[in-house]
Structure 1
């Protein structure tokens, strides 16, 4: 699922206006410089890219089944959704 990971990193880097090489898996959206609106936009882009539906509650992300605490957590959750889709 390397291509999934790389594409997610690219989407989030574009949102943060950073080079993908600047992102680390343990960085939180806040560390990357993405606010809540940017995170929602990133989630929409990820959903569109992979044709998945992310169970994300933008108003209460801590109550969501979708872990957005770090870039690595987001990648893991998306990889799981992509794998379940097949």
Structure 2
């Protein structure tokens, strides 16, 4: 697993790259509901969502634009993932 550090905090590179991919090149530059689902699924690729994956998802939510539907879905999933840890 590859990581990047932003302001001294370690994040998962794969998730950040996926968010970047979904917000550049085409469309309105916002993460859609389907793309938000892909991000959550990518974080759930192992036995459990790690602290770094969870931190990365929170970073993505704070630093990338989401459609309203995507934001509602992503926020609900983040709340559920936070309770599982």
Scaled by the length of structure 2, the TM-score of the pair is 0.37
Scaled by the length of structure 1, the TM-score of the pair is 0.36
